[in-house]
Amino acid sequence: MELMIILFLLVLINVLIAIGRQQQRKWLRFLLTSVSFILLLITLLFVLKALS
């Protein structure tokens, strides 16, 4: 179950970064990048949980 959550979060992060890079508004680019970074930390926690 954790593997499915991890893969979903990684795909979501990838999509958010791709959309964020195309944005001309700096605040929106910053917001999408920040959300992606927070999701990356959450994904790391799921990875550590899956490994233990």
Q: Per residue in 17-26, pLDDT tens?
A: 999 999 999 9
How confident is the model at residue 52, as a pLDDT? 86
Residue-wise pLDDT for 23-45, tens only, equals: 999 999 999 999 999 999 999 99
CA-to-CA distance for 1 and 46, rounded, in angstroms? 10
d(CA 31, CA 39): 12
Cβ neighbours for 28, distance < 8 A, ≥ 6 positions apart: 20
User: pLDDT at residue 48 above 90?
Assistant: yes
Give the pLDDT confidence score for residue 43 in this predicted structure.
96
Domain chopping of the chain, boundaries: 2-51
